[in-house]
């Protein structure tokens, strides 16, 4: 005989609605009631088929996350927060790693749609994403403008780029290198491009010349490291502004080039994930408000799902984290 | 009119079976055929409901991952490999972060079962997991023995502990501190406990006394850092053997205690994730074969799903990575 939730309700001495609420992790349920329902389910060995429920409810409780990498501290912290916030709201997370590959991203979007996800949070950095958007799929984008209709969440990248540039200028740096994806600007509208604008503006006001190392964000750490090392060897740079991964590569390359930090070279990163600051407390960096980015992405996605109004938020506050004496 | 896969097959000029194979990402399909099918689906706007298919197939293509944290480099790399390997096999990943919490882990297991996952890969470190195991759920455990029936995958922790201890002994260390979860041994049968055994054996043979700092793996980096700093201040330690997170905390604490590395203190970590070695090339550590752990975990899970024989593998080869002069 197939067990139903009525059997669970009967054994637990609660209403079938209460059983549903426990199963859906929605609404207020006292700890005692929850426990009674769970005990009854365990005693009976009742595991309702969520797939069948999703189909009949037309509500999958699934959210997809598409990220270009799962081993970058910023992205992992973001995923960790998104998972925590969404799972407390009763959602389950399907995770997709596109490895910076456009085709994989496209396939994942389609797979997620087929799996009836209620929404997708995407931290994509590929071109032409707009070309293969799926109608009726709720999407929130982190850090990247995809088209006019998809909301974007990001920190205040201009303020971050400005603060980092000022920090180097105030310390007397004269030859400040900006490392980032510059030519890519044409194709991919990253909010992070505003960092470059802020750098150019600051440099100009300070009467300095911009120096850039155009580097695609999808290349490996080893490639970054080699490109940065070559640049440090060939040009007398005294300040560097970059994302954390490139900033760390710069610090490691400087060591190889026998440049001493901070006397000969000062570095400011961008991201400031918890793990990075714990492990490398010497790194000076612009901290992104990663928890707030996650909270806002979820709020907006839920607003979309519920048919409520929403808008992009691209000015979440950044701050300067000053590493101890800015050197290892 | 509702679209079916026959419509897609007709437009693409292939058989309905070929459409199914493209959708399931199974069997050999040429790139041209795949493209033709995908183009036809896009033209028609056909998104088959995978939930309905899962129900009728009795095959969800879902695998759950339960991890105690998503922001540790070892776990991040492992998840990244698992996602890559599983997604190439046509599986989708439901990710669950238990935050080292036993109750959450239990709820996740039950949620995954209700979602009809075909299997779960768990990197649990909680007690009593065996108590709430769900019958008929395929589970593979990484690093921890849960009971006699659940297969375990891990590196050769004894060999790793031995190699790390010998490295410190050979460099003349006399007061070697082992940092790890020691009292927890009674409750949680971690394969990593063999590292401690190897350390004790090596120390004894070398005629030294064991010195330990018993530290639960679930505490925060800041707590670790404080405990280690106190110990470095109160006791003249000249060698430390720990997991990477604690090894890095040791290096950072040593700096605060004005201990110079490697002359006064030598440190060997354990894990050696790619990210850690890239960012901190100075760290000497035992590298776990993370890709092999992931590959073996998936192979065994698939064997369980397919009713084939399988067994635990707890001797995957480790190696010593020697950081440059072992200091920052």
Please say whether the beta carbons of A283 and B252 come within 8 A. no
Interchain CB distance below 8 Å, A50 and B280:
no
Which residues of chain A lie closer than 8 angstroms to B71, CB-CB?
73, 76-77, 80, 273-275
Distance CA B268, CA B37 (A): 53
Q: Which domains occur in chain B, in start order? A: 5-48 (1.10.260.40), 60-154+290-315 (3.40.50.2300), 157-289+320-326 (3.40.50.2300)
Distance CA B77, CA B287 (A): 12
Give the least confident one: A73-82, B48-57, B292-301, B308-317. B48-57
* pLDDT at residue B325 is higher than 60: no
Q: Which chain B residue's Cα is nearest to A85?
A: B97
Distance CA B69, CA B93 (A): 16
Shortest distance, CA A30 to any CA of chain B (angstroms): 16
Please say whether the beta carbons of A191 and A144 come within 8 A. yes
Mutate to test the interface with A, among B53, B66, B86, B97 (most CBs of A within 10 A): B97
Q: Which of A123, A126, A127, A160 is nearest to A243 (CA)?
A: A160
Nearest by CB to A55, from B52, B73, B328: name it: B52
Q: What is the mean pLDDT of residues B88-102?
A: 90
Tell how strand A119-122 and strand A62-67 pair up. Answer: parallel
Interchain CB distance below 8 Å, A76 and B70:
yes
Interchain CB distance below 8 Å, A51 and B274:
no
Q: Which chain A residue's Cα is nearest to B249?
A: A279
Shortest distance, CA A201 to any CA of chain B (angstroms): 31
Q: What's the ipTM?
A: 0.87
Interchain CB distance below 8 Å, B47 and A114:
yes
Model pLDDT, residue A128? 64
Model pLDDT, residue A1? 56
Q: Which chain A residue's Cα is nearest to B273?
A: A71
State chain B's mean pLDDT as an integer.
89
Q: What does each C-alpha distance from A234 to A231, B208, B261 come to in angstroms?
A: 5, 51, 31
* pLDDT at residue B328 is higher than 50: no
Interchain CB distance below 8 Å, B55 and A50:
no
Sites in chain A below the pLDDT cut of 70 = 1-2, 125-132, 184-188, 325-328
pLDDT in tens, B224-260: 999 999 999 998 999 999 999 999 999 999 988 999 9
Mutate to test the interface with A, among B26, B115, B116, B219 (most CBs of A within 10 A): B115
Which residues of chain A lie closer than 8 angstroms to B60, CB-CB?
51
Q: Which chain A residue's Cα is nearest to B60?
A: A51
* pLDDT at residue B220 is higher than 80: yes
Interchain CB distance below 8 Å, A83 and B70:
yes
Model pLDDT, residue B268? 97
């Amino acid at each position: 005989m197939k067990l139903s939730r009525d059997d669970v309700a009967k054994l637990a001495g609660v209403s079938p609605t209460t059983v549903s609420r426990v199963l859906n992790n929605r609404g207020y349920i006292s700890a005692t009631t929850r426990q009674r329902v769970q005990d009854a389910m365990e005693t009976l060995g009742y595991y309702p088929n969520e797939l069948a429920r999703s189909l009949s409810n037309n509500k999958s409780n699934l959210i997809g996350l598409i990220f270009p990498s799962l081993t970058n501290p910023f992205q992992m912290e973001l995923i960790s927060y998104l998972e925590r916030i969404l799972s407390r709201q009763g959602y389950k997370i399907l995770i997709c790693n596109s490895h910076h590959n456009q085709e994989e991203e496209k396939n994942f979007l389609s797979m997620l749609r087929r799996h009836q996800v209620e929404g997708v949070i995407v931290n994509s950095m590929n071109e032409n994403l707009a070309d293969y958007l799926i109608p009726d799929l709720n999407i929130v984008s982190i850090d990247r403008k995809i088209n006019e209709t998809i909301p974007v969440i990001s920190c205040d990248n201009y303020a971050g780029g400005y603060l980092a540039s000022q920090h180097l200028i105030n310390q007397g740096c004269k030859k400040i290198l900006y490392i980032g994806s510059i030519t890519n600007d044409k194709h991919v509208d990253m909010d992070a491009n505003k960092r470059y604008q802020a750098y150019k503006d600051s440099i100009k006001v300070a009467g300095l010349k911009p120096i850039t190392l155009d580097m695609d964000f999808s290349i490996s750490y080893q490639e970054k490291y080699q490109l940065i090392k070559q640049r440090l060897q060939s040009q007398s740079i005294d300040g560097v502004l970059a994302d954390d991964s490139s900033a760390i590569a710069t610090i490691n390359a400087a060591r190889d080039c026998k440049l001493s930090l901070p006397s000969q070279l000062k570095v400011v990163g961008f991201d400031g994930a918890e793990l990075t600051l714990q492990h490398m407390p010497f790194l000076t960096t612009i901290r992104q408000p990663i928890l707030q980015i996650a909270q806002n992405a979820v709020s907006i996605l839920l607003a979309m799902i519920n048919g409520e109004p929403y808008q992009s938020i691209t000015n979440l506050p950044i701050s300067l984290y000053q590493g101890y004496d800015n050197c290892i």
